[in-house]
Amino acid sequence: MIKIDLKLFVTLSRYLPDNSEGLEITEGTTVEKLMADHGIPSELVKLIFINGKTQNSKYRLKNNDRVGLFPPVGGG
């Protein structure tokens, strides 16, 4: 098992698991699977940031990764 920090922004925050800091997951889990495992609807996620850089949902998570998921924001 590895530990990651998960942050969900704006409307996604309702899907945040209780133990989002130091969340235990299986090594090599993709972001896609992480979202499915925690009931985060992938169609609501527009940007995936891993350690401050954009990645796609096929990215395989590593120990201590900081994961941020952001919905589309377009208001003015």
Partner 1 sequence: MGTSKIEERYDRNFNTLSHEEQKILGTSKVVVIGLGGLGGSVCEMLARVGIGHLTLIDGDVFEASNLNRQLLCQENLIGFPKAQAAKNRVNAINSEVKVRYFIEYVDESNMYERIKDADVVMDCLDSIDTRFKLQKAAQKASIPIVSGAIAGVAGQVTTIFPDDKGYELIYGKKGQKQSKGVETRTGNIAYCAFFVAALQSSECLKVLLDRGDILRNKLLIAELWTNTFDIMDLV
Do 4 and 20 form a contact (C-beta atoms < 8 A)? no
Interface pick for partner 1 out of 2, 3, 7, 33 (rule CB under 8 A)? 7
Min CB(53)–partner 1 separation in Å: 4
- 10 is an interface residue for partner 1 by CB under 8 A: yes
Stretch near partner 1 under the rule CB under 8 A, chosen from 19-27, 28-36, 46-54, 57-65:
46-54
- Residues 60 and 31: their CA atoms lie apart, in Å, by 7
Q: From CA 43, how far away is CA 5, in angstroms rounded? A: 21
59 binds partner 1 (CB under 8 A): no
SS3 at position 12 = helix
- Our finding on whether 47 is near partner 1 (CB under 8 A) is yes
